[in-house]
Amino acid sequence: MFRVLAAVVLLLALTRCAHATRTAREAPRGVPQVRVVTYNLNYGLAGDEDTLAAIAATDADLVFLEETSPDWERVIRPSLSRTWPHQAYLHAPAAGGMAVLSKRAFVVKEVLPNPRGWFAAMRVITQTPIGPVQALVVHLHPPVTDDGDWVRGYLSTSPRRRAELEAWLPSLEPGIPTLVAGDFNEGTSGEAARLLEARGLRTVLPEFHPAAKTWRWPVGPLLLSAQLDHVAYDAQLEPLDARVVPRGRSDHLPVVADFIRAARGALRPPMPSGSSLSVSVR
């Protein structure tokens, strides 16, 4: 316990303040929009009704799920296929599964193996109300070392997550509005988010709610929480809103974001930065 608390104190000391740079707004009249959600379901909760209800409540055009499993698929298909008739699953041991649900047709362009980490990625191109959108769905390396040390993992694994993205980003096709979404297992100050920003993509939730928490975990009488789940977008998209849905029994919460096509030459506000890890009494 002492080692965990020491790591928490250190990470909190490194946290920088950030302020929202966008406010939620409606799409202009007659302009189509697309809603997307990313959600780590927790593979051990297959069939949980509250978690299914959390997905259904988003009414998103595109749903990216992490930690799916054959058991989850057997529940999701009959429960949610009326809203999302187009579904694809990547099954893998333990927490390595993922899925894409869509209201419109999509193509799984490739499943990308992980050269340095635990979980593969999936790239899809899907039809949406704003036209074709490309998405790279990821579940980056957890903050734990290969020998199971979470304290050292929090402090040392960010380069591994960056290396995973560096291996996958070349697969993205230019000219298509692009999302990179999933469980990043780190906040906005991590190397994965900084790499994406250097490549012209930025995670949307901090622009609207920089201190929002998408993950929570009890440690004795304390509750750790952080912003680990992200929807990153490129300059061809303009966000209208991004928020966390406080529903479901997973240790993660759904992140929902709405986008329109960006106007040519549209300016972006400054990108908020900083970690959102916090500790509170349960």
The 3-class secondary structure across the chain, one letter per residue, is CHHHHHHHHHHHHHCCCCCCCCCCCCCCCCCCCEEEEEEECCHHHCCCHHHHHHHHHHCCCEEEEEEECHHHHHHHHHHHCCCCCEEEEECCCHHHEEEEEECCCEEEEEEECCCCCCCCEEEEEECCCCCCEEEEEEECCCCCCCCCCHHHHHHHCHHHHHHHHHHHHHHCCCCCCEEEEEECCCCCCCHHHHHHHHCCCEECHHHHCCCCCCEEEEECCEEEEECCEEEEECCCEEEEEEEECCCCCCCECCEEEEEEECCCCCCCCCCCCCCCCEEEEC
In this model, does residue 146 exceed pLDDT 90? no
Closest to 133 (Cα-Cα) out of 176, 86, 174, 169? 176
Tell me what pLDDT residue 202 has.
95
Give the residue, 144 or 159, on which the prediction is more confident: 159
- Residue whose structure tokens are 């009704």: 49
Give the residue, 276 or 67, on which the prediction is more confident: 67
| Mean pLDDT, residues 269-273 taken together | 77
Tell me what pLDDT residue 184 has.
96
Give the residue, 276 or 18, on which the prediction is more confident: 18
In this model, does residue 2 exceed pLDDT 60? no
In this model, does residue 181 exceed pLDDT 90? yes
| Mean pLDDT, residues 168-181 taken together | 97
Give the residue, 275 or 115, on which the prediction is more confident: 115
Tens digits of residue pLDDT in 50-109: 999 999 999 999 999 999 999 999 999 999 999 999 999 999 999 999 999 999 999 999
Tens digits of residue pLDDT in 29-42: 999 999 999 999 99
Tens digits of residue pLDDT in 222-256: 888 999 999 999 999 999 999 999 999 999 999 99
Percentage of residues of the chain with pLDDT beyond 70: 87
In this model, does residue 111 exceed pLDDT 60? yes
Tell me what pLDDT residue 220 has.
87
Tell me what pLDDT residue 276 has.
62
Q: For 254, list phi and psi in degrees, rounded to 5.
A: -65, 140
pTM surpassing 0.85? Answer: yes
Report yes or no: 106 and 132 within 8 Å, Cβ to Cβ.
Answer: no
Q: What residues contact 261, with CB distance under 8 A and at least 6 apart? A: 31, 130, 131, 177, 236, 237, 238
Tell me what pLDDT residue 282 has.
66
* Average pLDDT for the chain: 89
Q: Pairing mode, if any, of strands 237-244 and 255-261?
A: antiparallel
| Mean pLDDT, residues 103-117 taken together | 93
Q: In the chain, where are the structural domains located?
A: 31-264
Instruction: List the CATH code of the domain at 31-264.
Output: 3.60.10.10
Tell me what pLDDT residue 259 has.
98
